[in-house]
Amino acid sequence: MYSLHGKTAMVTGAASGIGRATALILSEAGANIAVLDIDDQGVRAVANDIVKQGGQVKFLHCDVTSATDCQRAVTRTIQEFGDIHILFNNAGIIRRASVLDTSEEEWDLVMAVNVKSIFLLSKLVIPFMEKAGGGAIVNTSSGWGMVGGKKAVSYCASKAAVVNMTRAMALDHGAQNIRVNCICPGDTDTPMLKNEALQLGQAEGDFLEEAAHRPLGRIGTPEEIAQAVHYLVSEASSFVTGAVLVVDGGGLAG
C-alpha cells in the first residue's frame, strides 16, 4: 500500500459507502483520520472499526452545508492531530427527478451538500495544508458529472460543477503544492444507490441488474472506489492534479 504515515485525512460522508471504505483504507495506510457525517451512529461505528485495526481516529458530527459545523470540525481535527494533509470531499445526496418534478428546496439541498460543502471545507482546510507544505484534495463527482442522466437533473448539475471546480482549484493552489483531483464513480454498491430504486419506484433487484450493464458486467464496490482515492492522495500520484479519474467499470467508455 502507498504509505500515509504521518498524514492526517479528513473524510466527509464517512458513515457508509465510499466514505466509510476510504476512511478504513486510508487508516490502514497509516493516516490519522477525522470522519465526518450527520449520521452519528454510522460515523461512530466506522470510528470503532478504525480503532480495532489499530488506527487513530476522531469522529465528528458535521452538517457539511453549515459553515459553523465545518469550522468546528476543522478546529477539532487540528486540535486532535495538529495538521490536515488530506481532504476527501465525499458527502453527497441524489434526488431522482426531472426539472418539472424537482422542488426549489430539493435543488438547493442537492447543490448545498454536493457543491457548497466542497467550497466550505476547502476554504477552511487549504490554509492548514499550505502551512504544512502541501496537501491533497479529492472531490467526489460522478459519471453523471460528465454525461447527462435521466430524472437526476439536480444531481447531474451538481456533479458537473464538482468536475470544473476541481480543475479551478488545481490551478489556484498548485503553487502551494496542493493537488486537487476528483473521482467519477459509476454505480457502486452503496445505500445511496439502493435508495435510488426506492425514489424511482423500481424493484431493487431490477434496478441493480440494470446498473450492472457495463463492460465489466457488474456494479462497483466501495473499496474499489476507495483504492482510487488512496492513489490520488498518495505520493504515487505526486504529479497528478486537476485530473478527473473515472472509476466505473467501463460505463462511459462507449
Domains with residue ranges and CATH for the chain: 8-247 (3.40.50.720)
The pLDDT of 157-175, averaged and rounded, is: 98
Q: What is the pLDDT of residues 183-241, one digit of tens each?
A: 999 999 999 999 999 999 999 999 999 999 999 999 999 999 999 999 999 999 999 99
DSSP-derived pairing of the beta strands 32-37 and 57-61: parallel
> Does the pLDDT value for residue 36 go beyond 60?
yes
> Does the pLDDT value for residue 172 go beyond 80?
yes
Residues of the chain with pLDDT > 70, as a percent, come to 100
Q: How confident is the model at residue 30 (pLDDT cuts 50, 70, 90)?
A: very high
Query: What average pLDDT does the chain have?
Result: 97
At 165 the pLDDT is 98
At 254 the pLDDT is 83
At 1 the pLDDT is 57
Which pTM value belongs to this model? 0.97
Q: Which of 155, 188, 208, 247 is catalytic?
A: 155
Q: What is the pLDDT of residues 53-91, one digit of tens each?
A: 999 999 999 999 999 999 999 999 999 999 999 999 999
Residue 34 near residue 57 (C-beta atoms within 8 A): yes
At 228 the pLDDT is 98
The pLDDT of 160-164, averaged and rounded, is: 98
| Residue 187 to residue 165: CA distance in whole angstroms | 22
At 72 the pLDDT is 98
Give 33's contacts (C-beta < 8 A, 6+ positions apart): 8, 9, 10, 11, 23, 26, 27, 50, 55, 56, 57, 58
Where does residue 47 rank: exposed (0-12), middle (13-18), buried (19+ CB within 10 A)?
A: buried
| Residue 68 to residue 82: CA distance in whole angstroms | 20
Q: Which three cell numbers stand for residue 14?
A: 464517512
The pLDDT of 4-33, averaged and rounded, is: 98
Residue 155 falls in the annotated catalytic set? yes
Percent of the chain as helix, strand, coil, to the nearest 5: 50, 15, 35
Q: How confident is the model at residue 49 (pLDDT cuts 50, 70, 90)?
A: very high
